[in-house]
Structure 1
Amino acid sequence: MKKLALVALIVGLPLQAQENVLTFGIVPQQSAITLAKNWGPILQHLSEETGYKIVFRTAKDIPEFEQRVLKGEYDIAYMNPYHYTVFHQKPGYEAFAKQKDKLIRGIVITKSDSPIQDLKDLDGETLVFPSPAAFAASVVPRSSLQAMGITFTPQYVSSHDSVYINVAKDFFPAGGGIERTLNNTDPAVRSQLKVLWRTPGYTPHAFATHPALPPDVSAKIAEAMLALNDDSEGQALLGRIKFKGIEPAQDSDWDDVRALNITLLDKYLTP
C-alpha cells in the first residue's frame, strides 16, 4: 500500500493546495521511480534555496504528460523541445533555462551483437519508440528514416527505458532514444546495446514556468537553478541527471525546432 501511495504521488495525482508549494513536472523518459531518485535531491536543494516546497511530479507516460502540461498542472516543467514549442502557445509556458553547451540528438540503437550495420538494414522492420511526439527519440529519427526511403512500422512504448529493454530482449531489432537516457539506463541493459546512428543536433529540453506563476517567483527559481553551476555541490547534483551545467534560455532558442514544421500535436492548439 505504501508503494502504491508513493507511485500515485510521483506520477502527479493532485495534492491539496498549500501555500508556497510548487510542482515541478519532469517528462517521463524513464520510470517514475528512477526520475524521482535522480531529480529528488535537486528539487530538495532548490526548495532549501528558494523557500518554496518544490514537489516532484511526472506522469505514467509521455501522452499523459502532454495532457498534464496542456492543463497547466505543473508550475515548472522540464519538457522536450517540440513539446515546448507547442505548450508555449497553449497554455503559455515560458522557457528560462536549458542544459548548458548541449544539442540534443536522437539515436537509433540495436543489440551489440546485432548483424544490423546500416539504417537501410531496418527497411521493412517494426521499430520501437517512446511515443509519437518524443522529439529526439521518435519524431526526428522517424522523419529521417522516411526521408531516406526506409519503410518501417513504429511501435510505441511508455518510456526511453522501455525502448532499451525491448531492444535488449530482442523484441524489436532497433529503437529510438537519446544519449543521456541511454547512459542513465540500467547498466545491465546498456551493456547489451550499441548506437547505430545519430541525428543532427537541436536545442535541448526546456525548463519552463507556467504563465500563472508570479514573475518574482519564476525569477527566484531560475536564479537558484542557474546557481547549481557555481559550486561542487551543485555540480554533483547536476551530475545525477548527466548535466554539465545549466544556462539561461529564451523562447527564440527553439526556433530551430519550429523550422521543422512538426504538426503532430496541433490538435492541442485548436479551440
Structure 2
Amino acid sequence: MEQHTPKGLLRRRTRLLFLLGLLLLPGLLLAGTIRFIVQPIQDRATTLDHYRPLADYLSRATGEQVKLEAAINFLTYWQGIRKGKYDLVLDAAHFTDYRMEKLGYLPLAKVPGTVSYSLVTHPNTLIFEPEELIGKKVATPGAPSLGSLRLQALFPNPIRQPQIIEVPNAAEALRRVESGEVTAAIVPTPLLAAHPDLNVVLTTDPAPHVTFSASPRLDPAVREKLRKALLALGTTKEGKRVLQAINFLGIEPADPKRYQGYEKLLSQTWGY
C-alpha cells in the first residue's frame, strides 16, 4: 500500500492524469459511439431526417450506438473528412478513395452501380454545349463536391469559364435553375427523376456510386458487424423498409480497386 507521502501522492496523480489522457484520445472519447456522416447533397436538416432510419437500423443490428451527423456544406464536410473525425462515412468515390489512401479507411458496402452528374438548364433555356455557358451563372454545391470538380473539368481555361455560383446543396442548385436565378446547374443525375422537364446539356462519365467506409479506429469486429448489417439490408423485411425510406435500390459489396485514382480529383483542392 502506498504511503501518504509526497512521492505516493505524485504517483497517484500521475496515474489519474494518464487515465484521463486515455479518455481524451479520439478513438476512446465516446466509447461505443459510432459517428456516422453523409455527404451534404441535401441540406443539413433533410439529411438528418432522411438517413435517421438507417442510423437507427445500424444501431439495432450491431448493438452499437450509431450517431448520425451532417455538415452544413461541402467545405465544412471536407474539413472534417481531412481530420478523420468520423467512424462511418457515406459519400462519393473521390472522398472514399482519399480516405483509403490518406487515412486508412476501409470500404464496407456501396449503393449498386454507378452515378453521374448532369449539367441542366431551365426547360425554356435551350443550351446544347457547355461552352454556351461561358460568362453565365451556373450553380453547384461548393468545392470539393464531385459536382464542382466535374464542372471545373469542363472549363479548364481560367479566362473562359461560367460564373460559378456556390450553393449549399444540390436541391438549392435545382431550385435556382427553376426560378431563373441561374442559367444552369450541375447535380447528381438521379435527382433529375423529380425534375423531368429540365434540359440536360451534358452528363459526365459515371463513377462508383456512394460508398460506406469505416475508420481504422473502429475495432475490426465492429467494422465487420457494420458490413454485415449493411449487406443484409436487402434480405430482411426491416432492411427493405429502411432501403425504401432512404430511397436506395439496394446495397452491394465494395471492391477497393474500383476507387483507385478518384482521389486525384481532389489534387487541386485546399488541404489535399
Common topology (TM > 0.5): yes
Partners of 1:181 and 1:242 in 2: CA distance? 11
Match of 1:210 in 2: 215
Provide the secondary structure at the position in 2 that maps to 1:83: helix
Change (3 A) 1:239 1:113: farther
Provide the secondary structure at the position in 2 that maps to 1:88: helix
Provide the secondary structure at the position in 1 that maps to 2:168: coil
Partners of 1:262 and 1:217 in 2: CA distance? 30
Residue identity in the other structure for 2:89: A
Unaligned runs of 5+ in 1: 1-13
Provide the secondary structure at the position in 1 that maps to 2:90: strand
Unaligned runs of 5+ in 2: 1-25
Residue identity in the other structure for 1:122: L
Partners of 2:95 and 2:139 in 1: CA distance? 20
Q: Displacement of 1:22 after TM fit? A: 1.0
Q: Does 1:111 align with 2:115?
A: no
Deviation digits for residues 15-73 of structure 1 (CA, Å, limit 9, x no counterpart): x9544221111111101121122210111111111111111111111111111122222
Residue identity in the other structure for 1:268: G
Radius of gyration: which is bigger? 2
Return the match for 2:134 from 123, 138, 142. Answer: 123
Q: Displacement of 1:118 after TM fit? A: 3.6
Q: Does 1:268 align with 2:267?
A: no
Residue identity in the other structure for 1:238: L
Change (3 A) 1:87 1:111: same
For the 8 Å contact 1:29–1:181, the answer to whether it is kept is no
Match of 1:164 in 2: 174
Q: In angstroms, what is the RMSD of aligned CA positions?
A: 2.5
How do residues 55-134 of structure 1 correspond to structure 2 at under 5 angstroms?
A: 55-100=67-112, 102-134=113-145
Q: Does 1:233 align with 2:205?
A: no
Provide the secondary structure at the position in 1 that maps to 2:40: coil
Identical aligned residues as a percent: 22
Q: How many residues align?
A: 245
Deviation digits for residues 62-99 of structure 1 (CA, Å, limit 9, x no counterpart): 11111112222211011221112222233322212111
How do residues 11-50 of structure 1 correspond to structure 2 at under 5 angstroms?
A: 17-50=29-62
Residue identity in the other structure for 2:144: A
Match of 1:5 in 2: none
For the 8 Å contact 2:133–2:162, the answer to whether it is kept is yes
TM-score, structure 2 as length reference: 0.81
Residue identity in the other structure for 2:46: T
Partners of 1:145 and 1:235 in 2: CA distance? 42
Return the match for 1:144 from 126, 148, 154. Answer: 154
Provide the secondary structure at the position in 2 that maps to 1:230: coil
